[in-house]
Amino acid sequence: MTLKALIFDVDGTLAETEEAHRAAFNDSFAASGLDWCWSREAYRELLKTTGGKERMRAYQDGLPAGARRLSDEEIATLHKRKTARYGEILAAGDLALRPGVAELIEAARAAGLKLAVATTTNRPNVEALTRCCWGRPADAVFDVIAAGDEVAEKKPAPDVYLAALDRLGLPAADCIAFEDSRNGLISARGAGLAVVMTPSVYTDHEDHSGAAQILPSLERAHWPAPLAAALAG
């Protein structure tokens, strides 16, 4: 294997973003006059459904008969409000990268590797994260961004990783994917990628069998030998 690129999931992998997402959902529900309020326990279950709009549909499918239900158009409008609120939360600077992420990306860039994102979230959310955590636009941090709203099927389908590989112009054998969730693991493996897992606070209970490595963090001390060797030049 000649390592040429690192491909990162975003939420839970680059940063523990899910509490910010949950707050943005709940704030948007309240602002829209909905009595929906997602607890941490409920959100852990809802995360099994990838995609914000899809998550809202899954939630309302479980509501009792007679409860207010939103049309697809209303869900799309509400999701736009949620995306804007998430951006406001991150703009306040209350989010940090997970341990080791900044050093890994800096080392990969210095070693001449390409950097990509393959995420279920949308581009505005990626942009909000990079501006919050790096103080730079997303395309100044990553060479390629493949987002969930740009592909036919979201994770666990492999579409977004296949899109990232296509835009990188590289085969899966020359890349490593970094994930935190089982849905992401299945997606990356479906695209033929070796996967390094760093489970997050919302995914540490999942089955991550099939990963090449399961690490507590992306700090240098935990880098697998092939990765460390590639980054050493």
The residue written with tokens 């549909």 in the block is: 57
Cβ(220)–Cβ(100) under 8 Å?
Answer: yes
- For this structure, is 27 an active site residue? no
Query: Exactly one of 9, 27, 94, 149 is catalytic; which is it?
Result: 9
**Closest Cα partner for 16 from 200, 159, 172, 188?**
200
Residue 68: other Cβ atoms inside 10 A: 11
Tokens (6 digits) for 220: 């240098």
d(CA 218, CA 224): 10
CA distance 7 to 69: 37
Confirm if 97 and 15 have CB atoms less than 8 A apart.
yes
Q: Which of 11, 61, 143, 204 is catalytic?
A: 11
Alpha helices in 50-118 (DSSP H): 52-61, 72-91, 101-110
159 in catalytic set: no
Residues identified as active-site: 9, 11
